[in-house]
Amino acid sequence: MHLYRTLILSVIGVVALGLAVPTSAADPSPTERVQRRLNALHCDAGPADGKAGQHTRSAVVRFQSRVGLRQTGSFDQRTRKRLYAEDAPRCDVRPVPARSGSGRRIVISQAQNWVWLVGPRGSVIAQGGMVDNTGELRRGAHATGSYCGRAGRIKLNQSTSGNVWLDNFVRFAPCGIGFHRIPRYKSNGQQIHAEWILGTNMSESHGCIRLSRSLSLKVWNFTTRRTPVRVV
């Protein structure tokens, strides 16, 4: 009887502190529930393991950019409310921004850290996250091609430092700004950062648009002829 009374008082104390009492050891933690929800919306939070690391934070940032919230990576009340809303949108499918031109083109949203390849009739051929540098790349109209006497397309380009590869490089602004895959170290072929950084403000390029390997190939195939690029 004494042991039973002690257990009851312990539970009452936990509830009084505002802490949840798990119904079983198998119940997911609050962080794991958030990770599962983010992954269900294709925001890529990584494994739903209950550990709130940088991968999970990147998914929160991607979701915040998708719904127009401030991209802090913090799971605040506004983010929580929007995430669990019935009409919460997917992170990986986004409408092309308004006032971003017309016809066949590539659209870059620096606010969303996102890129769209748009067909001649307005259909989205491909889209995905990016990393750029707003201090170098200015908003406005651009186009793929040769600038400053440099080739417009280089399948295996390299950085000015010479230590990384820039695969599928497509130039679209003077003099060295273009699209390319996340840089790879020449020494081991590894990318300088994970793909889950794309679509967030958690990194910054030297001016170019960093893309996943898959999307960089799609941009390469999409730009076999001069292609308008609109930065918004």
Give the domain 105-231 fold: L,D-transpeptidase catalytic domain-like (2.40.440)
Determine contact, residues 60/79, Cβ cutoff 8 Å: yes
pLDDT at 19: 30
On the question of pLDDT at 79 being above 50, the answer is yes
Q: Is the pTM of this model over 0.85?
A: yes
Could you tell me whether strands 184-185 and 228-231 are parallel, antiparallel, or unpaired per DSSP bridges? unpaired
On the question of pLDDT at 187 being above 60, the answer is yes
pLDDT (tens digit, 9 = 90+) per residue, 48-77? 999 999 999 999 999 999 999 999 999 999
pLDDT at 160: 85
* DSSP bridge pairs for 124: 118
Amino acid at 125: I
Long-range contacts of 91-99 (CB under 8 A, 24+ apart): 91/38, 91/41, 91/42, 91/43, 91/44, 91/59, 91/62, 91/63, 91/66, 91/199, 92/42, 92/43, 92/127, 92/128, 93/42, 93/127, 94/66, 94/127, 96/122, 96/124, 97/232, 99/232
pLDDT (tens digit, 9 = 90+) per residue, 164-175? 999 999 999 999
Domain extents in the chain: 2-83, 105-231
Residues 6-19, mean pLDDT to the nearest whole number:
33
Domain 2-83 matches domain 105-231 at the CATH topology level? no
Residues 22-50, mean pLDDT to the nearest whole number:
87
Coil, strand or helix at 74: coil
| CATH number, span 2-83 | 1.10.101
Q: From CA 107, how far away is CA 228, in angstroms rounded?
A: 9
The confidence band for 32, taking pLDDT boundaries of 50, 70 and 90, is: very high
Coil, strand or helix at 67: helix
Coil, strand or helix at 115: strand
pLDDT (tens digit, 9 = 90+) per residue, 113-165? 999 999 999 999 999 999 999 999 999 999 999 999 999 999 999 998 889 99
Q: Which of 213, 224, 220 is nearest to 190 (CA)?
A: 213
pLDDT at 26: 65
